[in-house]
Chains A and B, each alone.
Chain A
Amino acid sequence: MDKKTYSNLVVSSAPHLVTNMDTTRIMLMVLIGLAPSFLVSIYVFGMRVIALTAVCIIASMFFEWAWNKLMHKTQTVGDLSAAVTGTLIAFNVPSGLPFWIAIVGCFVAIIVVKQLYGGMGKNIVNPAITARIVLFISFATEMTTWPLPRMAADATSTATPLGVLAEGGAELPSNMQMFLGFIGGSMGEVSAIALLIGGLFLIWKKIISPIIPCCFIGTVFVFALIYYGATGEGEALQMAIFHVLAGGVMLGAFFMATDYVTSPLLPMGKVIFGIGCGLLTMIIRLWGQYPEGVSFSILIMNCLTPLIENFCQKRLYGGAKKNEK
């Protein structure tokens, strides 16, 4: 027998198998999870939804690509995380927003929030949330000009349900209208049912843990139930459901508070994070200057994440015994 030997084999540490679920696939799953809401938005707000989303995705991916190119870093645009950020920015702004403002938002998200802090996995706060807040403060008029949903009566712009709640002047939409998404608001946050379907898909695929969404939404619900029950400003159960469906709670709870990089890793930390988001959201909504509080609450909890993580690690392992000798 012809005996050939091989003595230049690859030597690496075990394990020699890896799962096929990599970062790119995870990001792809998130994009799929966002698809139902995207479709409802097209139905509600028309074709500009597609254009705005495309602009945001292309701009985000371009900034990511250009930064890596200029800084001679490994090209990471292929992992699709910039596409997810771009989509979330589009979902968080009114569908009629001028494109150039959306592009400014993408610049803030990708360059300022993500890349200046070290890129993928190193950012402290969620890029899309921060971009929304920066745009909201910088372009207050454009960011609060809510285009009419197709079902509305003749008018050129409308108010969000939370805007109505804060300032009055119109009738609140029914909970069913809000559940389906036939209301004014940011492009991708209007339809609770579509976001729920996408969120459950991600939980089913084990992309996200259900802890943060459950704690976030649960806290908003319970807080509203107690507040309206105590003050009698409205029918408690009705208003509790209203607060869960209104504004960015669904989008925030399933797609932005669950961002791996900026939320705690340990289950107990996720509980604290989710409850914190819910509490801050309700405090801002009920007593704050702004009608909506989801993005601020997530931003604040993002900043607290390292502290929560540290606290939970100590709890898990019984703390460091540094002073014992």
Chain B
Amino acid sequence: MSQKHLHSIHVSHYKHTAGCATEVMPVPDVVKISMSQHIGAPCKPLVQKGDYVKVGQLIGDTDAFVSAPIHSSVSGTVTGIEEQRSAAGGMDTLVVIETDKKQEVYEGIKVPEAKDLPEFIKAIRESGLVGLGGASFPTHIKFNPKNLDEVHTLIVNAAECEPFITSDHRLMLEDTEDLISGCQLIMKYIGLDEGFIGIEENKMDAIEHINEVLAAKGITNIKTFKLQARYPKGAERVLIYEIAGKTMNAGELPAQHGVILSNVTTIAFVGQYFRTGMPLVSKRMTVDGDAVATPKNVIAPIGTMINDVIGFCGGYKEEPRKILMGGPMMGRAVFSDEMPIVKNNNAILAFSKAQSMVKEETACINCGRCHQACPFGLIPTALADAYAKRDAQALSDLKVMQCMECGSCSYICPARRPLGFTNKLGKAVVKEAGIK
């Protein structure tokens, strides 16, 4: 099969922790569980100060369609409901739980059973599952496409193109059974013919391991798909182009192209949930960066503070100046290490001063590297000029809305211009002007 490639860039992989088997972190003294861990309406806390909660117990929910319920990740006593500024800038409601370290499991936990798609979707919603690749879009909506008859392919996003992060890599090696059963469940209930697990070729051990397990089980309708080890191969629209051969525009859904696309962690969780019945209460993540003493892959309860997670990894080796939730290409810098882990965290990266400072911007030399790097062939320099004039029409004509903010242009720019961020601002200008 001849494969078509979109433009991409080479970014050093820094996969230091690829060989680090995942360690389960002990329960911390206190967890703070956010009520807003998904795209959509935040949940309302269902518990009050003084309540005793157990692992897997529902503690936050809402009637809004685009949302996902929140469960307690620990057993212990609720000591308060706090408001805290989130990394995104808005206010966040946190349920603070002092743990008793017994990790008593909630009585209501049972392995779900589903006869048909509606029951499957209901179970997925009850599990609190959201897109764990980063977007945290509620999964029960994604798995329930309007054009059910037209979807035929499952694509598992296991590219893990972000530098540093190896949590998906470890998952593929350690939880292979859950991953494959998750694929099978989704394909069975939604009625998909074939599944592709897209993996970058810098994880050949994972590809070989999954192939062996698939062969041993005699599964032929799920295949691994080798991707180039380049950035950003793990972007939704890039995967749909390279694996399914379809061109997907911004604002379209994968289902419109006959594809259900989900992150490997999300799908493995489906397998795990239908095996154990435990909702989404803990998360595997890579802890790395030059300020961390012992980089590791850890499974931490949701709501654990960042500094507790780093404490488990030997603490700080030197003073951190920048801490990221997620990878260095698209992750979000947080202003404090007293932030709780949320469902979609796949990495905590702490960097020292030397690696944290924003490089000074110099003049554009029109070299065109940004255009060559852009997977969608946008012209970031032209977009930046249009943004400087706040020219919504020009921004729209130059297709700013197609930008997926992968940051390749900013990465490659020899003048250190924040082109990706400018595109983000440009999109806001177009939206404000109301241009379709």
Partners in one complex: yes
Residues of chain A at the chain B interface (Cβ within 8 Å): 1, 3, 5-19, 21-23, 25-26, 76, 79, 81, 119-122, 209, 260-261, 263, 265-266, 313, 316-317, 319-322
A-B contact pairs, 27 of them (CB 8 A): A6-B319, A6-B323, A9-B321, A11-B334, A12-B333, A13-B424, A14-B329, A14-B333, A14-B405, A14-B420, A16-B322, A16-B324, A17-B328, A17-B411, A22-B362, A23-B414, A26-B367, A81-B365, A121-B364, A121-B365, A209-B368, A261-B366, A265-B366, A265-B371, A313-B379, A313-B382, A320-B397
Is B247 part of the contact surface with A, judged by Cβ < 8 Å?
Answer: no
Give the total number of A-B pairs whose CB atoms are below 8 A apart: 145
Q: Are the CB atoms of A265 and B335 closer together than 8 Å? A: no
Q: Are the CB atoms of B320 and A15 closer together than 8 Å? A: no
What residues of chain A lie closer than 8 Å to B365, measured between beta carbons?
A: 23, 26, 81, 120-121, 260-261
What residues of chain B lie closer than 8 Å to A10, measured between beta carbons?
A: 321-322, 333, 356-358
Is B399 part of the contact surface with A, judged by Cβ < 8 Å?
Answer: yes
Is B363 part of the contact surface with A, judged by Cβ < 8 Å?
Answer: yes
Q: Are the CB atoms of B420 and A13 closer together than 8 Å? A: yes
Bound-state CA distance A21–B362 (Å) is: 13
Contacts A15-B330, A17-B329; A3 near B311 (Cβ below 8 A): yes
What residues of chain A lie closer than 8 Å to B351, measured between beta carbons?
A: 16
Is B81 part of the contact surface with A, judged by Cβ < 8 Å?
Answer: no
CB proximity of A162 to chain B, nearest CB, Å: 31
What residues of chain A lie closer than 8 Å to B381, measured between beta carbons?
A: 265
Bound-state CA distance A113–B148 (Å) is: 63
Is B415 part of the contact surface with A, judged by Cβ < 8 Å?
Answer: yes
Is B307 part of the contact surface with A, judged by Cβ < 8 Å?
Answer: yes
Bound-state CA distance A83–B140 (Å) is: 60
Contacts A22-B414, A22-B416; A316 near B377 (Cβ below 8 A): yes
CB proximity of A153 to chain B, nearest CB, Å: 46
What residues of chain B lie closer than 8 Å to A11, measured between beta carbons?
A: 322, 333-335
Residues of chain B at the chain A interface (Cβ within 8 Å): 11-12, 163, 307, 311, 315, 319-324, 328-338, 351, 356-359, 362-368, 371, 377, 379, 381-382, 393-394, 397-399, 405, 407, 410-416, 418, 420-421, 424
Residue of B nearest to A1 (CB): B311
CB proximity of B383 to chain A, nearest CB, Å: 11
Residue of A nearest to B164 (CB): A17
Cβ contact of A15, chosen from B319, B399, B407, cutoff 8 A: B407
Bound-state CA distance A317–B400 (Å) is: 11
> In terms of DSSP, what is the predominant structure of the interface of chain B?
loop
Q: Are the CB atoms of B379 and A5 closer together than 8 Å? A: no
Bound-state CA distance A13–B89 (Å) is: 13
What residues of chain A lie closer than 8 Å to B411, measured between beta carbons?
A: 15, 17-19
Cβ contact of B407, chosen from A1, A14, A21, A81, cutoff 8 A: A14
Q: Are the CB atoms of A18 and B382 closer together than 8 Å? A: no
Q: Are the CB atoms of B336 and A14 closer together than 8 Å? A: no
CB proximity of A15 to chain B, nearest CB, Å: 4
Q: Are the CB atoms of A14 and B330 closer together than 8 Å? A: yes
Q: Are the CB atoms of B362 and A23 closer together than 8 Å? A: yes
Q: Are the CB atoms of B307 and A3 closer together than 8 Å? A: yes
What residues of chain A lie closer than 8 Å to B368, measured between beta carbons?
A: 209, 260, 265-266
The 8 A-B pairs with the shortest beta carbon distances in the complex, nearest first, are A15-B407, A7-B336, A121-B363, A13-B421, A265-B368, A120-B363, A16-B328, A260-B367
Residue of A nearest to B367 (CB): A260
Bound-state CA distance A199–B394 (Å) is: 36
Cβ contact of B358, chosen from A12, A119, A209, A265, cutoff 8 A: A12
What residues of chain A lie closer than 8 Å to B367, measured between beta carbons?
A: 26, 260, 265
Bound-state CA distance A22–B421 (Å) is: 19
Q: Are the CB atoms of B323 and A9 closer together than 8 Å? A: yes
Q: Are the CB atoms of B329 and A26 closer together than 8 Å? A: no
What residues of chain B lie closer than 8 Å to A321, measured between beta carbons?
A: 397
Residue of B nearest to A319 (CB): B397
Contacts A17-B328, A120-B365; A6 near B418 (Cβ below 8 A): no
Bound-state CA distance A268–B328 (Å) is: 33
Q: Are the CB atoms of A23 and B415 closer together than 8 Å? A: yes
Bound-state CA distance A319–B399 (Å) is: 11
Cβ contact of A266, chosen from B319, B335, B371, B420, cutoff 8 A: B371
Cβ contact of B363, chosen from A5, A25, A119, cutoff 8 A: A119
Q: Are the CB atoms of B357 and A5 closer together than 8 Å? A: no
Contacts A16-B331, A76-B362, A320-B397; A5 near B337 (Cβ below 8 A): yes
Cβ contact of B320, chosen from A9, A17, A23, A209, cutoff 8 A: A9
CB proximity of B427 to chain A, nearest CB, Å: 13
Bound-state CA distance A7–B163 (Å) is: 25
Contacts A21-B414, A317-B399; A5 near B307 (Cβ below 8 A): yes
Contacts A7-B336, A10-B356, A320-B393; A18 near B329 (Cβ below 8 A): no
What residues of chain B lie closer than 8 Å to A23, measured between beta carbons?
A: 362, 365, 414-415
Bound-state CA distance A205–B366 (Å) is: 18
Contacts A9-B337, A10-B358, A15-B411; A121 near B366 (Cβ below 8 A): yes
Bound-state CA distance A209–B411 (Å) is: 19
Bound-state CA distance A1–B82 (Å) is: 25
CB proximity of B372 to chain A, nearest CB, Å: 8
Q: Are the CB atoms of A18 and B399 closer together than 8 Å? A: no
Bound-state CA distance A229–B405 (Å) is: 54
Q: Are the CB atoms of B358 and A15 closer together than 8 Å? A: no
Bound-state CA distance A25–B86 (Å) is: 39
Cβ contact of A7, chosen from B324, B331, B335, B405, cutoff 8 A: B335
